[in-house]
Structure 1
């Protein structure tokens, strides 16, 4: 079996890339060991974060680092035994999170974020998936006036620099918008620009259906079997070997299973995360995607129930689940909203692929013909799927990308 392009990885990044290549007349085979959207793309908070122009940095304040070192928080947790292997990534992450460096990174990162809504809108319309989308933003709530004031100040700066819209919420307005919220919150804010997704898995599946309508094929296969051949690349699938002139590596936290054997040693870490779905007691209703910002968890009213998502767990990618943060977050969340029974048999766990400079790797591999990379999107994989797919497909087909992708080039790392 032959194709113009093989796309490895059927998460939101790979699927979006496959669509944009198919739109440009390429024959494309999408390959993954699991069904599309069942890994990291399934378990996210369901936000298309137009406001997320500044990627999540590593804390630099010594007092804050000491509090994290106690390992008793909701927003971050670490495996002590994993630290020797994780430390090189964390040190580089910490270095890049210096205030001045982070400011430059945000400037380079913002063009991707700025195209997140319009590129999703294009695919949502083409896929007939508008029933999965809400367009009323999302909410952060704060327990202390100091934290609220700090976030409002940051929001005003984002508004001035990037044109982002938000509503400041005092106690009374917060209570009006979320009457079943029980916590003693000082107030909050609603980011108006982002969209939310009622079922992230269903959205990815709708995009896959669009890809297949365009003539593309999804075939289960093993990305680890990728190897170069005379006229391109070949990979083993359930339907036999597939050969393509070009191959895109969009395997998220598993990208090293392909890149490392080819000699690329990217320093990509993982931030693992968990979620659980709940019912609501006594007829309570959660109206908004809501983050308890000073505790570090988020509640989202999705089709499957109220999804509680956790912060970052620093551990080896394939280590067994340790849903400590979920247990801690659930205990807090039950005090602020009448969560009902758990609706899942066990907590879901996923792994966010993170580069040390907080920007994805997008572009042509430096040392191999026909090899392309699209991974490392950290917390914004869902947000950046369609724009990543577009700019990579434009580059691969000789078009001028809609934005400059040089800040995300693979060569920025010594690989």
Structure 2
């Protein structure tokens, strides 16, 4: 029989790992300090991004770096006093973004992304999760015809090399697809493969429900209390200690707090992000998620309203929320759509777990055979949760893996 497992972290990745392990007969406890999907999985663009075969590279042009240094954009914001703490991972991030090295990252990253739709459907099919996965894709809008033409040429290469599907919309076709846009555009790229999730938290809860219905156990506890216990490990839960022979660390940006005391400190850093929801005036609707090229924010139709999401913020751990990007983005968003009032009084804040080489960390942790890693998915934890869950579960139960896990091995750092 497979040995008992504690999965630390109940976001989309941790829930997916726990579910796949349970389906393979493992006795699994899924432990977090809060309920499933209440961390970074709660707030994001709500997209299963089949088109995202190219991870976010570090900017390398002087003009772009100078623009970001001004700290006035909607896409990137930083706390100046926090930058020294980011210096080492960001320098390595810049190094890995060199064009030749970046191509290797794309090759490994795309191998994961290409599976994301099938792996989500394999979990969601026949459950209440399926209606949450809307096959409507998303739109990237372009004000300039030349920029649209260049973007379409790049999209054609992604289709050729990675099987990514898209449709080109001119200005009239865009207006027909989204009749309540307030500004005309030269056109748009409609990425047709991605799934738009109407409620990311509900999706994670649905997968967690499958886990408990299959006999898995949910527990509230503090992952930082992890300690050796005999031949296994112990962590303190709200109802007492929990022990298991094996541990999976799936705590996103907080994973290093557990791994560092055990001697493993990969270059993981957090990019904070915010969202807030709005109503729409009159009978206006937004049919698909939209991102205006160069705007640095996204507008996503959700159950709770139209979600305005921001880019990246670099700040110290536990620093107070500074949603200046939302304040900068809102006036521009109101020029695009007839937004009504905010639904929430307080914006949501979460942290995306990023790695210096843009690839997630999946596999056995160096120096501790009983500890496994599943974190560092950057902007794509929601997208890659089921893929990572299946891959790691196959590794942990000695099954043949459906993907080569070598590029994501923890000992590369």
Which interval holds the TM-score relative to the shorter structure?
over 0.9
Partner of residue 49, structure 1: 49
Partner of residue 5, structure 2: 5
Contact in 1 for aligned 2:264/2:366 (Cα 8 Å)? no
Aligned equivalents of 2:313, 2:239: Cα separation in 1:
37
Give the SS at the match of 1:85: helix
Partner of residue 140, structure 1: 140
* Offset, 1:126: 5.0
Aligned equivalents of 1:281, 1:126: Cα separation in 2:
35
Aligned equivalents of 2:161, 2:264: Cα separation in 1:
37
Partner of residue 334, structure 2: 334
Partner of residue 181, structure 1: 181
Partner of residue 323, structure 1: 323
Partner of residue 307, structure 2: 307
Give the SS at the match of 1:359: coil
Aligned equivalents of 2:196, 2:61: Cα separation in 1:
32
* Offset, 1:235: 0.5
Q: Is 2-11 or 307-316 further displaced after alignment? A: 2-11
Q: Is 352-361 or 291-300 further displaced after alignment? A: 291-300
Give the SS at the match of 1:66: helix
* Offset, 1:67: 1.0
CA shift digits 1:294-347 (9 cap, x unpaired): 111111110011000000111123211000101111110001110001001201
Aligned equivalents of 2:62, 2:268: Cα separation in 1:
24
Q: Say if 2:350 is the partner of 1:350.
A: yes
Partner of residue 165, structure 1: 165
Aligned equivalents of 2:133, 2:369: Cα separation in 1:
39
Q: 1:257 to 1:127 in 2, by over 3 A?
A: farther
Contact in 1 for aligned 2:271/2:353 (Cα 8 Å)? yes
Q: Say if 2:154 is the partner of 1:150.
A: no
Aligned equivalents of 2:58, 2:95: Cα separation in 1:
8
Partner of residue 361, structure 2: 361
Q: 1:317 to 1:143 in 2, by over 3 A?
A: farther
Aligned equivalents of 2:242, 2:299: Cα separation in 1:
42
CA shift digits 1:191-233 (9 cap, x unpaired): 1111110000000000010000110010100101111122211
Contact in 1 for aligned 2:175/2:184 (Cα 8 Å)? no
* Offset, 1:146: 2.7
Partner of residue 37, structure 2: 37
Give the SS at the match of 1:219: strand
Give the SS at the match of 1:183: coil
1:63-78 maps to which residues of 2 (within 5 A)?
63-78=63-78
Aligned equivalents of 1:186, 1:81: Cα separation in 2:
41
Contact in 1 for aligned 2:116/2:383 (Cα 8 Å)? yes
CA shift digits 1:339-364 (9 cap, x unpaired): 00100120101000000000000000
Q: Is 8-17 or 134-143 further displaced after alignment? A: 134-143
- RMSD, matched Cα: 1.1
Give the SS at the match of 2:202: helix
Partner of residue 371, structure 1: 371
Residue segments in structure 2 that go unaligned for 5+ positions in a row = none
Contact in 1 for aligned 2:178/2:287 (Cα 8 Å)? yes
CA shift digits 1:72-92 (9 cap, x unpaired): 111111111111111111111
Q: TM-score, normalised by structure 1?
A: 0.98
1:247-262 maps to which residues of 2 (within 5 A)?
247-262=247-262
Give the SS at the match of 2:245: strand
Residue segments in structure 1 that go unaligned for 5+ positions in a row = none
Give the SS at the match of 1:68: helix
CA shift digits 1:111-142 (9 cap, x unpaired): 11011000000111154311212002111111
CA shift digits 1:166-195 (9 cap, x unpaired): 001110000000111012322111111111
* Offset, 1:63: 1.0
Instruction: Detail structure 1 runs of 4+ shifted over 3 Å in the superposition.
Output: none
Give the SS at the match of 1:34: coil
1:234-253 maps to which residues of 2 (within 5 A)?
234-253=234-253
* Offset, 1:3: 7.1
* Offset, 1:399: 0.6
Q: Say if 2:405 is the partner of 1:401.
A: no
CA shift digits 1:46-103 (9 cap, x unpaired): 0000011010101111111111111111111111111111111111111111111111
Give the SS at the match of 2:4: strand
Give the SS at the match of 1:306: strand
Contact in 2 for aligned 1:68/1:76 (Cα 8 Å)? yes
Count of aligned residue pairs for this structure pair: 412
